[in-house]
Structure 1
């Protein structure tokens, strides 16, 4: 009779300890179920380190995965009261799958967004102080950028600044060789473009370097200014000679 009393007491103690230290409860209402308490949920691990800890089974070479499936809009995200550290991935019934979504995969895109005609994917920095850093190349309208920024389309901007190390003011140096106009004329007849300027074929082959071309155009404007000054001096000298001849005739 004594043994029958001890066993239920031990069982009761174990249940009380589990209730005290585990402090986890399941509750349900209709088709919903909840777990709450000071514990974590472990899948393939007896020692969860987070509220939900998913680990690949021991000896299994498959990566641990979490699949949320539905026919409507699917959402997986994090949220907290401070509004920081949140992440959200969502899909819609129109196009619920992402075409390029890998992060940190060298053989594919770092971060990608897929969109259809009706669903436009994008990146938004919701602060005026945000900045983005890209170590490689950026392509807009092209998936094969050849430069730091390649744009297949029109660029509109209120202001564009181009770095220029050496402006063409050396045209005004005393030792600068200013071609005679006769030499410039001969060069144009032979080559069909101005001296020191790329040809049409070079433009088609190498594209247009904005900084380099602006500097060359500045060089030609300054050369043209020197030609005008030179011609003006000749005109003034000729006018002086004409005035002297008129005076001699009148005398």
Structure 2
């Protein structure tokens, strides 16, 4: 090291004595004081064209450091030799932050606040003054949505805990996108967003829990109480254009083996119970509610029973009318005979 320093000093002495540019072992010393390594036309105090390795030491800590400073603070600049785009890392004089600026190499227009790290640990993207651990002024895009490895597409909120769904790895605690396409096994379209919570998901507005999906898939709206045995429980009114209920139907009433109760039996049950057979009482409905599908089926059963009663009564009426017509004809015949 001492030998190299001595050679450097002697070289400077020779340059000053000769007052002309000198190149020694690939290093050029200009009369204006510029030094070039790998170039004979250095444009700065020191210009190096080629690879450089620094073995730095420090007396206080293991390793070393490189300090580049000016009256405007510490700067470290990297220039793209192809596009002349410039990347500047800046530690301003007021300290407490590390900033990244980017220049396009053509107009010297500087893109401020690309990336900032404060001494508090706050990181800002698109802002120089992040107020949280991570603050992004702008949009965040997650383009990957069809991963079939364990790199979950999305934002992880708690832990890197994946699960396999439809040949894609999603996260138990987070949200993002997956590429399942309705009606197809193709994963080419990232058209589905997902949100996942292993133990359940709660939805809040105005500080109130409005909807909860439990770990077992029970959905509660208007109440956080799980209604066991039901997939959907709503504490409030529901308005809909149409509701489709898939359940059994009551056409068995029209089968020959069906035992249609007599009207006297119906009357007796009403007098004793206060409601139709197989239909819940008002007290039961108030306490337990009703199953829409089952109740529609029971109501249809009663309508079909009424239809059978009506058909039977129609036959009885027709029979009575026939007998009545015969009686009238007989009476008229007797009257005419007496008149003779």
- TM-score for both structures, normalised by structure 2: 0.45
Aligned: 1:112 with 2:112: no
Cα gap change, 1:3/1:142 in structure 2, threshold over 3 Å: closer, same or farther? same
How far is 1:137 from its partner?
0.8
Deviation by residue 1:37-65 (Cα, 9 ceiling, x = unmatched)? 9xxxxxxxxxxxxx9xxxxxxxxxxxxx9
Q: Pick from 117, 121, 138: which aligns with 2:219?
A: 138
How far is 1:78 from its partner?
6.2
Q: Secondary structure at the match of 2:296?
A: helix
Which 5+ residue runs of structure 1 have no aligned equivalent? 38-50, 52-64, 90-102, 123-131
| Structure 2: distance between partners of 1:246 and 1:157 | 59
Aligned: 1:80 with 2:170: no
| Structure 2: distance between partners of 1:174 and 1:226 | 12
How far is 1:30 from its partner?
9.3
| Structure 2: distance between partners of 1:88 and 1:7 | 56
Q: Secondary structure at the match of 1:14?
A: coil
| Structure 1: distance between partners of 2:256 and 2:268 | 24
Cα gap change, 1:78/1:30 in structure 2, threshold over 3 Å: closer, same or farther? farther
Counterparts of residues 1-251 of structure 1 (less than 5 Å):
2-5=3-6, 13-15=52-54, 25-27=88-90, 33-35=98-100, 70=131, 79-80=140-141, 104=197, 106=199, 110-116=200-206, 135-146=216-227, 147-164=230-247, 166-251=248-333
On the 8 A contact 2:122/2:131 being kept in 1, the answer is: no
Q: Secondary structure at the match of 1:203?
A: helix
Cα gap change, 1:207/1:26 in structure 2, threshold over 3 Å: closer, same or farther? same
Higher strand share: 2
| Structure 2: distance between partners of 1:191 and 1:6 | 118
Larger CA Rg, structure 1 vs 2:
2
| Structure 1: distance between partners of 2:93 and 2:209 | 38
On the 8 A contact 1:142/1:151 being kept in 2, the answer is: yes
Which 5+ residue runs of structure 2 have no aligned equivalent? 10-26, 28-47, 57-65, 67-75, 81-86, 103-114, 116-120, 125-129, 146-152, 158-195, 334-340
On the 8 A contact 2:142/2:154 being kept in 1, the answer is: no
Q: Which has the higher contact order (CA 8 A, sep 6+)?
A: 1
On the 8 A contact 2:221/2:235 being kept in 1, the answer is: yes
Q: Secondary structure at the match of 2:204?
A: coil
On the 8 A contact 2:209/2:224 being kept in 1, the answer is: no
How far is 1:201 from its partner?
3.0
Deviation by residue 1:190-225 (Cα, 9 ceiling, x = unmatched)? 000101212223323332001110000010000000
How far is 1:27 from its partner?
2.5
Cα gap change, 1:199/1:160 in structure 2, threshold over 3 Å: closer, same or farther? same
On the 8 A contact 1:78/1:88 being kept in 2, the answer is: no
| Structure 1: distance between partners of 2:144 and 2:250 | 54
On the 8 A contact 2:250/2:301 being kept in 1, the answer is: yes
- TM-score for both structures, normalised by structure 1: 0.59
How far is 1:16 from its partner?
9.8
| Structure 1: distance between partners of 2:221 and 2:281 | 29
How far is 1:28 from its partner?
5.9
How far is 1:87 from its partner?
5.6
